[in-house]
Amino acid sequence: MQLVLHLDDSSIAALIDADGAERAVWNAFAAWGRGEAATTQRSRATSPGGMASAMAAVVPPYCGGKVYSTAPHPDGGAPRFTFVNVLFDTAGALLATMDGGLLTALRTPAISSLAVHHLARPGSTIAAVIGAGNQGWPHVEMLHRVLPGLTDLRIAARPGSAAAARLTARAVAAGIPARLVDRPGDAVAGAHVVVTVTNATTPLFPADAIGDDTLVCAVGATKYDRVEIPGELVARCSTVVCDDVAGSRVECGDLIAAARTGHFDWADAVELHAVAAGTVTLPRAGDAPVLFESQGVAVADIAVSGYAYDRLVAGSVHNGTPGPHTTIPTFPTIDTTTVDTTTIDTTTIDTTTPTREVTT
| Under 8 Å between Cβ of 217 and 138 | no
| Under 8 Å between Cβ of 161 and 151 | no
Flag whether pLDDT at 317 surpasses 90: no
Flag whether pLDDT at 347 surpasses 70: no
For the ranges 293-302, 307-316, 330-339, which has the lowest average pLDDT? 330-339
Flag whether pLDDT at 351 surpasses 50: no
For the ranges 93-102, 146-155, 213-222, 323-332, which has the lowest average pLDDT? 323-332
| Mean pLDDT (the chain, rounded) | 88
Distance from C-alpha of 272 to C-alpha of 100, rounded to nearest angstrom: 23
The model's pLDDT over 139-172, given as tens digits with 9 standing for 90+, comes to 999 999 999 999 999 999 988 899 999 999 999 9
Distance from C-alpha of 26 to C-alpha of 18, rounded to nearest angstrom: 12
For the ranges 100-109, 115-124, 294-303, 325-334, which has the lowest average pLDDT? 325-334
Flag whether pLDDT at 248 surpasses 90: yes
214 contacts: CB under 8 Å, gap ≥ 6: 121, 188, 191, 192, 193, 194, 285, 289, 290
pLDDT at 78: 63
Flag whether pLDDT at 303 surpasses 80: yes
Flag whether pLDDT at 209 surpasses 70: yes
HSE-up of residue 190 (Cα within 13 Å, Cβ side): 8
With a pLDDT cut of 90, the percent of the chain lying above it is 79
Task: Report the Cα–Cα distance between both ends of the chain, in Å, rounded.
Answer: 35
Distance from C-alpha of 80 to C-alpha of 86, rounded to nearest angstrom: 20
Q: How confident is the model at residue 1 (pLDDT cuts 50, 70, 90)?
A: low
Flag whether pLDDT at 329 surpasses 80: no
The model scores a pTM over 0.75: yes
Flag whether pLDDT at 106 surpasses 90: yes
Q: What is the DSSP letter of 117?
A: H
